């Protein structure tokens, strides 16, 4: 994902900001925000429940299910219940096969990522970013705000979260610009440059509103 040199560049950018502010800035790069285990199951159930009824609506006769197995249509009234049970059994079997085939297919990571809804990706990335934001701020005092830059590579999403105090003073613009810097760099194939630029942008409000008050600032973090 990121090379050793990339880590050094990110660490250096964080250190440069934290030397000039009493706050902290964190950068976390996650390969993927979630395994989305429910997505293959959801697609499997959807296809299994909808495909056969839609096929019947399109003109496929349910009788064809029994004819496929027995080779001829049972016309006698005495055998109608047998025909119905057979048709329902074949219908259930077809649904089970569709569910299994669809679930296994969508479980392939490349396919799963393609068919996972964007709103679900956005929700998972934001939730994970918020969890990291809370955990990284647990050790900080009331006058030590922090900013988290969270990047989910597979979802290609960026979340920049800031402490309430610095967010109130800086507004929305710095965080939007930081996110845009990473998104632009990712499209250009150099995410590290975007991360470094985002650290500079997100660190500017910390430096302006919460300047350094101690001789030496804590080292920043770059977690992968």
Which structural domains are found in the chain, ordered by start? 4-34+117-223 (3.10.310.50), 38-114 (no CATH)
Condensed to tens digits (0 to 9), the pLDDT of residues 173-191 reads 999 999 999 999 988 888 8
pLDDT reading at 56 higher than 80? no
What local confidence, expressed as pLDDT, does residue 167 receive?
85
Condensed to tens digits (0 to 9), the pLDDT of residues 65-118 reads 555 555 544 454 444 566 666 667 788 888 899 999 999 999 999 999 999 999
What do you get for the CA distance between the two ends of the chain, in Å? Answer: 8
Average pLDDT over residues 199-210: 92
Buried b (16+ CB within 10 A) or exposed e, 180-219: bbbbebbeeeebbbbbbbbbbbbbbbbbebbeeeeeebee
Q: At what angle do helices 63-70 and 80-106 cross, to 10 degrees?
A: 100
Average pLDDT over residues 43-71: 73
Sign (positive or negative) of CA dihedral 148, 152, 153, 158: negative
Bridge partners of 157, per DSSP, are 152
pTM reported for the whole predicted model: 0.77
Say how many C-beta atoms besides its own lie within 10 A of residue 223's C-beta: 13
Tokens of 99: 């569910």
Residues 6+ apart with CB under 8 A from 105: 40, 111
What local confidence, expressed as pLDDT, does residue 139 receive?
78
Bridge partners of 28, per DSSP, are 150, 223
Tokens of 106: 């969508």
Contact 33, 152 (CB under 8 A): yes
SS3 189: coil
């Amino acid at each position: 994902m990121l090379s050793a040199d990339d880590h050094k560049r990110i660490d250096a950018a964080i250190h440069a900001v934290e030397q000039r502010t009493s706050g902290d800035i964190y950068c976390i790069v996650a390969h993927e925000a979630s395994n989305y285990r429910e997505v293959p199951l959801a697609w499997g159930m959807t296809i299994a429940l909808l495909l056969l009824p839609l096929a019947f609506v399109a003109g496929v006769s349910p009788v064809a299910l029994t004819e496929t197995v027995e080779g001829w249509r049972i016309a006698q009234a005495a055998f109608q219940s047998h025909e119905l049970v057979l048709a329902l059994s074949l219908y259930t079997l077809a649904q089970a096969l569709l569910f299994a085939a669809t679930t296994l297919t969508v479980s392939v990571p490349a396919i799963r990522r393609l068919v996972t809804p964007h709103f679900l990706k956005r929700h998972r990335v934001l939730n994970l970013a918020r969890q990291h934001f809370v955990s990284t701020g647990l050790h900080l005092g009331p006058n030590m705000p922090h900013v988290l830059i969270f990047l989910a590579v597979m979802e290609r999403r960026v979340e920049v979260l800031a402490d309430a105090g610095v967010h109130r003073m800086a507004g929305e613009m710095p965080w939007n610009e930081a996110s845009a810097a990473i998104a632009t760099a990712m499209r250009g194939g150099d995410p590290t440059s975007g991360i470094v630029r985002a650290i500079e942008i997100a660190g500017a409000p910390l430096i302006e509103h919460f300047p350094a008050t101690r001789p030496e600032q804590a080292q920043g973090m770059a977690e992968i």
